[in-house]
Amino acid sequence: MGGEDAPGMFLGLDSSTQSLTAVLIDLESGQISCQLSVNFGAELPQYQSPNGFIPGGADGEVHANPLMWLEALDLLFARLAKVVDLSQVKMIAGSGQQHGSVYLDATFENRLAGLDPCSDLLSHLSPALSRATSPIWMDTSTTAECAEITAALGGDGEICHRSGSIAIERFTGPQIRRFYKKDPAGYDRTHQIHLVSSFMASVLAGKSVPIDFGDGAGMNLMSLSKLGWDTDLLAATAPNLCAKLLPPAAATAVQGEICGYFSKKYGVAAECRVALFTGDNPASLVGMGATAPGNLVISLGTSDTFFAAMPGPKTDPDGFGHVFGNPAGGFMSLICFRNGSLAREALRDSLGLDWAAFDRDALAATRGAAGENLMLPFYGPEITPRHDFTGPISQGSAAFESGADPALQVRALLEGQFLNMRLHSQWMGVKVERIRLTGGAAKNDGIAQLVADIFQAPVERLDVSNSAALGAAMIAAAADGHDLPAMQEIFCQAAAGSSLQPDLALGDVYQGALSRFQSLLKANLTSQQEFFRSVDPSADR
Ligand code: XUL
């Protein structure tokens, strides 16, 4: 696998919405040697954040307490030290829930430099917060700020082209602007703004370290073409912002040795080094072995997500998809579909079926009807495409439209979900060579076969429970000089389930269904809702 000298142990941490997870990999054995998590809600109940964020925020605000993340870091290291020999860890990297931001005053650097192993992170660093709580990715409070930034730049197309996404409520730039508007004194006192990822990496490194390109692209502030902060976006967001951000860097950029606090307190080797942290989605791209273009990842969850590597910074002309940095170099797309499991469950429940009857049986029974009936599979508001649907819309045979045959409904819903995914990922222009399918519903054989048939590509099922932390551990090893593709091969092999081949005879069938699906979708969206706002920032907000 390469590397500067002998292989070793590499630690990946993922600071997600609900927990902080560690995955330790051993390159000698090619195995995961330890996985541990601290669950914020269950184990740090004093923060009154049962799901990792403070409930009941007004006006769409969703915040979390960054002190909770610090306490979790101490707790995780204390636990790790009990079960593994941390002196063997050569490099640490990590990931964080994307978009969330931490605001720090001028004392932060000194406090980091003076971390005392006889004390704890919480008591030492809490006075450095210039904003008590951190807005996270679930926050939707910045509609006005998105409109203001969009207007200043001259339209959605411009922001999307520059930063990889239109101005989005949860993205960091609009969140920073809201803070600046609501609490100008607090903003002034803020010396440094970190993402969750760079905040955690800074604590480990004992000094402020940069935001990486992967996570930086989720801020509406970074220029994809220059891989640096975009001065117009900074100016449209808040004054003097450049001074509060370090220039972004590659995830594998080594930041130096771990801060003495962790070596003295938990027995991490003083020579253990720290690489940058990235976003959880870029880290998952690594963990799912999909950093080379041609590999797509489809994760079936409450919402379905679709992500894939891209060689260049292409952006979605409709503004639905996002572009982030790929930790292996180049870029990646991320497209979220809100009507994932929620829609599958809604139909299953309305038909009174169990999962076996829903997926395998229904799809087998209706194979002859592949691509025949269409359903816009939206049980509630969707973000790709952005539209307030109130229920699915069907078009097809009389037997289908009457709703008399439940199996036809199941096929049409699932086909609709994956046709919608295929349609809204076409902008990437990537030839699909292999799809890695993960998440709960990936276990269903009928669904997996349908994905293969609709995308006309082989589907490989992967059972990776902590893909972001695993990806981060591989980034740590890559930062130490080990070959990333070789590592991905080994760890993905270990997690691989069965593979399915597409039925090539269905290629033309689904090509035709795709055009008809697109027409049905167009007919049911107003132009204002379907396409992103080109110049008028007040529309569709
Ligand atoms: C991506 C996003 C979420 C967070 C949560 O844009 O908002 O996936 O990264 O982990």
Cα of 168 to ligand 1 centre, how many Å?
A: 12
Q: Is 93 exposed, middle or buried (0-12, 13-18, 19+ CB in 10 A)?
A: buried
From 97, 136, 139, 140, give the residue whose CB has the most ligand 1 atoms within 8 Å, as the site to mutate.
97
Q: Which amino acid is at 536?
A: D
**CA-based torsion, 297, 298, 304, 309: positive or negative:** positive
Residue with the two structure tokens 């509060």: 244
Cα of 281 to ligand 1 centre, how many Å?
A: 7
Closest ligand 1 atom number to CA of residue 98: 9
d(CA 262, CA 205): 9
Cα of 115 to ligand 1 centre, how many Å?
A: 31
Closest ligand 1 atom number to CA of residue 218: 6
Cα of 327 to ligand 1 centre, how many Å?
A: 16
Q: What is the pLDDT of residue 534?
A: 34
Q: What is the pLDDT of residue 311?
A: 82
Q: What is the pLDDT of residue 463?
A: 83
Instruction: Write out the DSSP string of 367-394.
Output: GGGTTTSEEE--SS-EETTEE---S-EE
What is the SS3 assignment for 128? helix
d(CA 486, CA 286): 12
Cα of 139 to ligand 1 centre, how many Å?
A: 11
Ligand 1, atom 10, lies closest to the CA of 97
pLDDT along the chain (541 residues), means of 10: 66 96 95 95 97 95 98 98 97 97 98 97 98 96 97 96 96 98 98 98 98 98 97 98 97 96 98 97 95 93 92 90 96 95 93 91 94 96 92 94 93 98 94 91 91 97 89 97 95 88 97 97 71 33 22
Cα of 164 to ligand 1 centre, how many Å?
A: 15
Closest ligand 1 atom number to CA of residue 280: 9
Closest ligand 1 atom number to CA of residue 138: 7
Name every protein residue with a CB atom under 6 angstroms from any ligand 1 atom.
16-17, 97-99, 137, 170, 218, 279-281, 322, 334
d(CA 128, CA 118): 19
Q: What is the pLDDT of residue 5?
A: 53
Cα of 257 to ligand 1 centre, how many Å?
A: 29
Residue with the two structure tokens 């600071």: 15
Ligand 1, atom 3, lies closest to the CA of 98
Cα of 307 to ligand 1 centre, how many Å?
A: 12
Cα of 97 to ligand 1 centre, how many Å?
A: 6
Closest ligand 1 atom number to CA of residue 17: 10
Name the H helices within 354-495: 355-356, 362-365, 398-401, 406-423, 445-455, 467-479, 484-495
d(CA 149, CA 408): 46
Cα of 148 to ligand 1 centre, how many Å?
A: 23
Cα of 279 to ligand 1 centre, how many Å?
A: 8
Closest ligand 1 atom number to CA of residue 16: 10
Closest ligand 1 atom number to CA of residue 324: 6
Q: Answer whether 204's CB lies under 8 Å from 257's CB.
A: no
Cα of 505 to ligand 1 centre, how many Å?
A: 37
Cα of 288 to ligand 1 centre, how many Å?
A: 16
Name the nearest CA neighbour of 16 among 132, 121, 98, 139: 98
Ligand 1, atom 6, lies closest to the CA of 98
Ligand 1, atom 1, lies closest to the CA of 98
Count of C-beta atoms within a 10 Å radius of residue 456 = 16
From 51, 95, 101, 170, give the residue whose CB has the most ligand 1 atoms within 8 Å, as the site to mutate.
170
From 53, 280, 306, give the residue whose CB has the most ligand 1 atoms within 8 Å, as the site to mutate.
280
Closest ligand 1 atom number to CA of residue 305: 8
Name the nearest CA neighbour of 384 among 440, 351, 343, 442: 343
d(CA 200, CA 93): 10
From 98, 138, 195, 322, give the residue whose CB has the most ligand 1 atoms within 8 Å, as the site to mutate.
98
